Amino acid sequence: MIYDFLLAHAAENPVSFHMPGHKGAQFYERFGYDDFLKEVMNCDITEIVGADNLFQMEGIILATMAKYSKLYDVIDSYLLVNGSSCGLIASILACVGDYGKLIMARNCHKSVFNSLTIADCEPAYIRPEAIEEYGILGSVSPKEVEKAIRENPTADAVVVVSPNYYGICSDIEAIAEVVHKYNKILIVDQAHGAHLKFFSRFAAEFGYPKAAEDQGADLVINSIHKTLGSFTQTAILNVCSDRVDERVLEDKLQVMESTSPSYPLMASLDINADILFEHGEELIREWAENLEYFYEEAAKIKGLEIIRHPMLDRTKINIDMSAYDIDGNELEELLLNDGIYIELVTGNIVMAMTGIGNTREHFDRFLASLRKIASAHEYVGKEKSKKIQSHVFTRELERVLVPAEREYVHIDDAEGRICAQSIIPYPPGIPIACPGEVIDRDLIEYVKKSRAAGEKVMGMNANHQVLVGVVAPENEDMYDDYDDEDVKLHLG
């Protein structure tokens, strides 16, 4: 079934504005890697003599790591085969002790939340700005970071996501300055921004945000697969300072990754590095110019709004066509009719994720589809009412201990109950409720709306049930009188 689906999809000649960044075989074929594609099964080996070992690198894997540390100009680069997810968790485990405290942006990816459970550590949240005009979350301010550190002086590390899913970056330079003033470690989830280093190097005049590696972050995790040329699941963890003990980091990486790392995946990281060395400038300039062309042409389509932000990585194209009374889900559907596959829908906004493998033809097909949609619909002016409320992700939920006994209840009956399993609209993969948080009405309404729109919500089963804690009658007082100071939060 999976195989049939994939072959049928490829035969459609689709245009990909979703992950991964290579956008198909054409990218490797262009640079003479057809043999790899033909031989991929024969490349699927294990740690035979000469093949090195991901967890004791001395040969060919070490050589590929060196290519990345040179490309990113950092101390060390680790190859990851379980995505940025494993790099984020390993980084946090390496920096925060058991029962420690982690300062983290509330819009972090679920892997960061999962690290809380694994390390048994407690979060202190930083709230990113809410961009009400678009109903999405934006940057994290250095001021908020400083406030969180002052309120949580025992925290070991700070994690922020930059760029976020929509491409909005934070001022990492200023954040790093604050974090280091208090002797903490800064981990940046740059899963969506692996390309930024190369935009600064090869296309500086286009004004893209700087990479976290160049702004003082200590550990930076990049999903090479999302925007550059390697296979899905491959990523790079960059070590940019000596504040983290790399022996501990390496130990945590072997905890989090498969003991059978895939050689085709690692080879794709190696190929991507070679392509960047040899053709990086040509590819990045092509990409930047195609984007300029797209934005210029899209601006001519009446009523098509593209979100703007001073810290936006414009490789993410966020489009709003609500002026035609088309919401995000409807726009996705209309684009699909023309074979255009996008990455994410949030309320009225469709996010098209461009990558190093997108060609001018892809941008032209996208533009043609948008023009067709505009001309086939009536222009009614901007419709604000359908945008989602970003505040559901930023408001503070009451937090308590998770009782050991748990049960499934219908989402309609979950108000006031203690969340026992993260509830995660996906994408964007940001938990809307974490274990220990008390479910409120806004959350229930948001989740129901998402499901009704056909979106995925992890943590809610097919019968629309969620897992909640059961409070024994003799413990009810404890939950009524919950006091932040008295109860050690357990995010289990």
Ligand X SMILES: Cc1ncc(COP(=O)(O)O)c(C=O)c1O
Q: Is the CB of 89 or the CB of 402 nearer to ligand X?
A: 89
Select from 77-85, 279-287, 355-363, 460-468 the region that touches ligand X (CB under 6 A): 77-85
Residue nearest to ligand X (CB): 83
Select from 189-197, 312-320, 393-401, 480-488 the region that touches ligand X (CB under 6 A): 189-197
Instruction: Provide the minimum distance between the beta carbon of 88 and ligand X in the complex, in angstroms, as a whole number.
Output: 6
Alpha carbons 320 and 327: distance in angstroms, whole number: 8
Instruction: Provide the minimum distance between the beta carbon of 296 and ligand X in the complex, in angstroms, as a whole number.
Output: 28
109 binds ligand X (CB under 6 A): yes
Instruction: Provide the minimum distance between the beta carbon of 223 and ligand X in the complex, in angstroms, as a whole number.
Output: 4
Q: Which two tokens stand for residue 285?
A: 């300039």
Neighbours of 246 (CB within 10 A): 14
Q: Is the CB of 273 or the CB of 298 nearer to ligand X?
A: 273
Q: Is the CB of 357 or the CB of 469 nearer to ligand X?
A: 357
161 binds ligand X (CB under 6 A): yes
Instruction: Provide the minimum distance between the beta carbon of 286 and ligand X in the complex, in angstroms, as a whole number.
Output: 24
Strand partners, 35: none
Instruction: Provide the minimum distance between the beta carbon of 84 and ligand X in the complex, in angstroms, as a whole number.
Output: 4
At residue 427, φ and ψ (nearest 5 deg) are: -65, 165
Alpha carbons 186 and 369: distance in angstroms, whole number: 42
269 binds ligand X (CB under 6 A): no
Q: Chain-centre distance of CA 38, in angstroms?
A: 31
Alpha carbons 428 and 28: distance in angstroms, whole number: 29
DSSP 379-425: ------TT---THHHHSPPPB-PPPS-EEEEEGGG-TTPBB-S-BEE
332 binds ligand X (CB under 6 A): no
Which secondary-structure segment (H or E) carries 350? strand 349-353
**Number of chain residues interacting with ligand X (CB under 6 A):** 13
Q: Is the CB of 111 or the CB of 322 nearer to ligand X?
A: 111
343 binds ligand X (CB under 6 A): no
DSSP conformation class of 218: S
111 binds ligand X (CB under 6 A): yes
Q: Is the CB of 16 or the CB of 85 nearer to ligand X?
A: 85
Q: Is the CB of 221 or the CB of 321 nearer to ligand X?
A: 221
Q: Is the CB of 165 or the CB of 446 nearer to ligand X?
A: 165
Which of residues 52, 144, 146, 189 is near ligand X by CB under 6 A?
Answer: 189
At residue 317, φ and ψ (nearest 5 deg) are: -100, 115
275 binds ligand X (CB under 6 A): no
Select from 146-154, 185-193, 239-247, 352-360 the region that touches ligand X (CB under 6 A): 185-193
85 binds ligand X (CB under 6 A): yes
Strand partners, 399: 437
358 binds ligand X (CB under 6 A): no
Give per-residue burial for 349-367: e unless 16+ CB within 10 Å, then b.
Answer: bbbbbbbbbbbeebbebbb
Q: Which two tokens stand for residue 445?
A: 């309404």
160 binds ligand X (CB under 6 A): no
422 binds ligand X (CB under 6 A): no
Q: Is the CB of 65 or the CB of 402 nearer to ligand X?
A: 65
Q: Which two tokens stand for residue 459?
A: 């943590």
At residue 103, φ and ψ (nearest 5 deg) are: -90, 125
315 binds ligand X (CB under 6 A): no
Which secondary-structure segment (H or E) carries 222? strand 219-222
Rg (CA), the chain: 23
Instruction: Provide the minimum distance between the beta carbon of 343 and ligand X in the complex, in angstroms, as a whole number.
Output: 9
Give the 3-state DSSP-derived string for 85-129, with helices as H, strands as E and coil as C: HHHHHHHHHHHCCCCCEEEEECCCCHHHHHHHHHHCCEEEEECCC
Q: Which residues bind ligand X (CB under 6 A)?
A: 83-85, 109, 111, 161, 165, 189, 191-192, 223, 235, 429
